[in-house]
A and B are shown apart, each in its own frame.
Chain A
Amino acid sequence: MDDKQIVELFFSRDENAIRESAAKYGARLYALAHGIVADRQTAEECEHDTYLEAWNRIPPHEPKNYLYAFLARITRHIALNCCRDRARLKRSAFLCELSREMEACIPAPDDMDSRIDDMMLREILNGFLGGLPEEKRNLFIRRYWYLDSIAEIAERFALSENKVKTTLFRCRRQLREHLEKGGYKI
């Protein structure tokens, strides 16, 4: 079933919407969640909670052209919160590492005045990503959207771990400069 039909099922409040979403994207959503929470049972919970959340959000959202990204964004959000809320998952070191990396992109991490709204940030962020070569962009997104480990990214792109780290380091620096230029003043 194509995405448009699945979204229409959501709109008509037909529970087959969940069944079809799971059949088409369940494995990818589970893999995404598992990559973040590193726990089978929690990953399954994240996947199931994703369908419930999608049920509540469609309508008003109508992600006919980007259903997977829409569901995956929900999964990512739920999985990240699980890592933060459940100490038993022992993911605090993983989150700290990613947060530290992200902090390097922010021109003034503590400065309230430099906060920008989501609309502006979306524009700056996607403008930055649009200017990157495809492989660099994908590498950045695998790390900070899918939250893959360096080893996983190196394997996926057939690069050395050092190469991945260096590329990400340069991307973060470029993003920081891009944010500064985009009005995110120091």
Chain B
Amino acid sequence: MRGNDFLDKMELIDPAYVEAADEKPKRKKRQRTTWGALAACFAIMVLAGTGILQEFWAQDGPERDPDLPLLTISEEAEGMGYEGYFAYDISELVNANPWNEETVIDTLPVFQNPLTYDENDVASGGDEGKMRELLLDTAKSLGLNTDQPEVDESEAPAKLKIASAGLEIEVDQALGAEVRFRPAVSLPENYHFTHYASYAEKAAAAAYLQDRYRDFIGFDDPQLNLAIGDYTIYGQQTYDILFFENGKDTEEKILNYNFDLAAFYCDDNGELFIARKWQADLSKKLGDYPIIRAEEAKELLLNGNYITTVPYEISGEEQVKKVELIYRTGRHEACYMPYYRFYVELPQEARENGLKSYGAYYVPAVESAYISNMPLWDGGFNE
């Protein structure tokens, strides 16, 4: 049974419960703006009007480059559940992130996400010209004749599609291209391209795929990222095969690692089923922002200045097991900005078979003076 079927099965819920849930709750609606908050706002307005606030900020607040716009943290989580990884030890969680704790970096660029989404999750702001170009380039890279392409525009502007014998290609407004192989493609017998293949087996399969789909990957100097080696709750370890373009310096490597990707996925039979490419639209650069060090970010983490989907508070520094710098690139991020991702051990989620759970907590890597809504843990999960 899949989630879709199970959703249908919810109709088995007792009618009495269904009726009861439709009654108006007894609790009063929350007063979102309290009188205290209003008074505080009023006080700020008065202070701002008299110049006292500006003076205070100039004296005690951090310096800020006036040419760099303030950034807003997007706290909206995508989907449900929390971001966590099972492993017996943190050292098993690996990737090819070009950033490490020795990396010295003073500034990193921040980009505005060109897409916005309405209440039905329909995107707008996409560039149909770039979508078409990506679609045709992808088709051509896989050997399709693109002289007289038959582009399916039935779902435009959300998606553009093209299909031929054995291939379906779909490009969305975020400039992600998905290729579905129909039927799935078998790798030669000596390769093990299965969900739970070992690191070495996946690395061998990746080398084969890199060679066979060189044009699709399309990078001058592709770097393999076998990630992340977490386990299912049944103790099966998994790695995804991703590639990213190398870069001439640390900044370019970091950007390519986060924004210029190709990935290959197997089906349950160990055959190539889906390949994806993503070339984020980074045309709307907001500026180069000063970056804090990982140690400073850890202080902010322990102070509660983080965003997370994990439903547990961090009780002590000893729970923090690993850090890396990444860009959050979710569809609903208002801007693509760097964060420190901390892997925090969650004793509440430890499994009987010895698997530990590491939850992901994000602290903005940009100096807090540039963040308009620095997150602060409010204990909401434990109310």
Interfacial residues, chain A to chain B (CB-CB below 8 A): 28, 38, 63, 66, 68-70, 72-73, 76-77, 80, 87, 90-91, 93-95, 97-106, 109-110, 114-115, 118, 121-122, 125-126, 129, 134-135, 137-138, 141-142, 144-146, 155-160, 162-163, 165-166, 168-170, 172, 186
Contacts and interface: CB of A to CB of B under 8 A. Distances in A.
A168 B14 CA distance: 19
Given A73-B11, A122-B12, A125-B12, A137 B81 contact: no
B28 A121 contact: no
B18 interface: yes
B22 A146 contact: yes
User: Main secondary structure on chain B at its contact with chain A?
Assistant: loop
Interface in B225-243: 234
B383 A163 contact: yes
A164 to B, nearest CB: 10
B248 interface: no
B39 interface: no
Contact of B30 (A72, A126, A144, A158): A158
A165 B13 contact: no
Contacts of A114: 1
Contacts of A94: 120-121
A76 B8 CA distance: 9
B1 A100 contact: no
Interface in B3-44: 3-4, 6-22, 25, 27-30
Contact of A93 (B15, B21, B121, B383): B121
Nearest to A31: B22
B79 interface: yes
Given A163-B383, A166-B311, 16 more contacts: A99-B2, A102-B4, A104-B3, A104-B80, A106-B1, A110-B2, A122-B12, A125-B9, A129-B17, A138-B25, A144-B7, A158-B30, A166-B381, A172-B80, A172-B81, A186-B234
18 contacts: A28-B22, A76-B11, A80-B7, A94-B121, A102-B3, A104-B3, A104-B80, A122-B12, A126-B13, A129-B13, A141-B17, A145-B18, A158-B25, A160-B383, A162-B380, A162-B381, A163-B380, A169-B311
A56 B192 CA distance: 54
User: Main secondary structure on chain A at its contact with chain B?
Assistant: helix
Contacts of B6: 99, 102-103, 105-106
B150 to A, nearest CB: 19
Nearest to A147: B7
Contacts of A63: 15
B17 A66 contact: no
